Amino acid sequence: MKVWLDGQLVDEGDACLSVFDHGVLYGDGVFEGIRAYGRKVFQCQAHIDRLFDSAKEIRLAIPYTKQELIEVTYETLAANDITDGYVRLVVTRGAGTLGLSPFKCPTPAVYIIADQIALYPPEMYEKGMAVIIAKTLRTSASMLKPSIKSLNYLNNILAKIEAIDAGVAEAIMLNAKGNVSECTGDNIFIVKDSGLLTPPAEAGILLGITRAVVLKLAGRLGLPVAEQNIRTEDLYEADECFLTGTAAEVISVTKIDGRTVGGGQPGPITQKLLESFRKFIRSDEA
């Protein structure tokens, strides 16, 4: 595998960061997970824009232009002969001192990995997945802006451990108000009375790129959509539930905390949106 690191493609084994990199020491950096379909980077501009927005929020100056990063993302895909795959674009604060000050890190590090990813097995897309509601609460939006896609994912990892301990693949995270926020790596939707509900930004969610595409597709299908607070009881009483994310795409949830959602199988609206999404990713619009 070839990894693009600070201006050049290097072998995977030679793609190294300093042990003094603040991304390693403190999770000080930002990233994007991006899909490629048919050698085309999915929603490329949206991902690059979000990367730069995240970096701006933490006062991290990315040493490349947006266009340069787009070009080297394609270069990395080509170097690894990837037609359909996954890209991880990372910007760290760079090497500095053992102190917290980010201003002692003169040069950010930038690297791009292009590989394959299968977050969930194929049978889960056919039959749906089971999830739990985690005891770990989502970090409050008043503490850390959820719009910042940072390298510090410990909050999500703790909830993910709960899911693994429970024998399921994913966990739903609540915020301090008891409202649904998001999952450890995905946004969440429920279907009630043929309409879609999904948590709003103020619930502490990352505004996912795939989430935005699904909202657009729902509008085209004439499905009513509301961004509003969702309670635990709303999850249990939902007709359907599904998750969205770059790696997950669109996947049905058929059990929450051992309780069956709807008919216990992927519902018609979820299936319709998944079909529309799969057509969209192969379109010129993607």
* pLDDT digit string, tens, across residues 209-258: 999 999 999 999 999 999 999 999 999 999 999 999 999 999 999 999 99
Mean pLDDT of 152-166: 97
CATH number at residue 200: 3.20.10.10
Q: Tens of pLDDT along 73-96?
A: 999 999 999 999 999 999 999 999
Residue 6, in any domain of the structure: yes
Query: What is the pLDDT, as a whole number, of residue 240?
Result: 98
Same domain, 153 and 259: yes
Q: State the Cα angle at 171 between 57 and 178, rounded to 5°.
A: 70
Q: How far is CA 24 from CA 14, 45, 99, 244, in A?
A: 17, 27, 13, 28
User: Whose structure tokens read 């501009």?
Assistant: 45
Same domain, 52 and 83: yes
Q: Which of 64, 69, 2 is nearest to 32 (CA)?
A: 69
Question: Do 129 and 113 contact (CB within 8 A), yes or no?
Answer: no
Return mean pLDDT, the chain: 97
Same domain, 139 and 268: yes
The upper half-sphere exposure of residue 261, i.e. CA atoms within 13 Å in the direction of its Cβ, equals 30
Residue 168, in any domain of the structure: yes
- Percentage of the chain lying above the pLDDT 70 cut: 100
pLDDT of 207 higher than 90: yes
94: left (phi over 0), alpha (psi -120 to 50) or beta: left
Beta-bridge partner residues of 190: 197, 241
pLDDT of 280 higher than 90: yes
Same domain, 46 and 141: no
Residue 286, in any domain of the structure: no
Question: Do 224 and 161 contact (CB within 8 A), yes or no?
Answer: no
Q: Which amino acid is at 272?
A: K
Most distant CA pair in the chain, distance: 56
Same domain, 53 and 184: no
Q: Cβ–Cβ contacts within 10 Å for residue 100, how many?
A: 11
Domain-terminating residue out of 115, 132, 155: 115
Of residues 141 and 157, the one with the higher pLDDT is: 157
* Count of positions (residues) in the chain: 286
Q: Which of 179, 218, 275 is nearest to 266 (CA)?
A: 275
Domain assignment of residue 192, given as a range = 122-280
Same domain, 189 and 83: no
Same domain, 144 and 88: no
Residue 243, in any domain of the structure: yes
pLDDT of 271 higher than 90: yes
pLDDT of 180 higher than 90: yes
Same domain, 85 and 131: no
Domain-terminating residue out of 49, 81, 115: 115
Same domain, 136 and 258: yes
Q: Tens of pLDDT along 142-156?
A: 999 999 999 999 999
CATH number at residue 80: 3.30.470.10
Same domain, 156 and 33: no
Q: Which of 121, 184, 132, 123 is nearest to 153 (CA)?
A: 184
Q: Tens of pLDDT along 30-85?
A: 999 999 999 999 999 999 999 999 999 999 999 999 999 999 999 999 999 999 99
pLDDT band for 182, please (50, 70, 90 cuts): very high
Domain-terminating residue out of 54, 83, 115: 115
Query: What is the pLDDT, as a whole number, of residue 203?
Result: 96
* Exposure b/e, 104-126, CB count within 10 A at least 16 = b: ebeebbbbbbbeeeebbeeebbe
Compute the distance between CA of residue 54 and CA of residue 227 in angstroms, rounded to an integer: 23
Domain count, the chain: 2
Same domain, 85 and 184: no
Please report the beta strands in 109-260, taking only residues with DSSP state E, as ranges in sequence order.
Answer: 109-115, 129-133, 170-174, 180-183, 187-192, 195-198, 225-227, 240-245, 249-256, 259-260
Residue 9, in any domain of the structure: yes
Has 149 been annotated as catalytic?
Answer: yes
pLDDT band for 286, please (50, 70, 90 cuts): confident
Same domain, 16 and 131: no
Residue 15, in any domain of the structure: yes
Residue 285, in any domain of the structure: no
Q: Choosing from 2, 40, 149, 177, which is the catalytic residue?
A: 149
Mean pLDDT of 14-21: 97
Compute the distance between CA of residue 218 and CA of residue 140 in angstroms, rounded to an integer: 29
Query: What is the pLDDT, as a whole number, of residue 118?
Result: 84
Residue 199, in any domain of the structure: yes
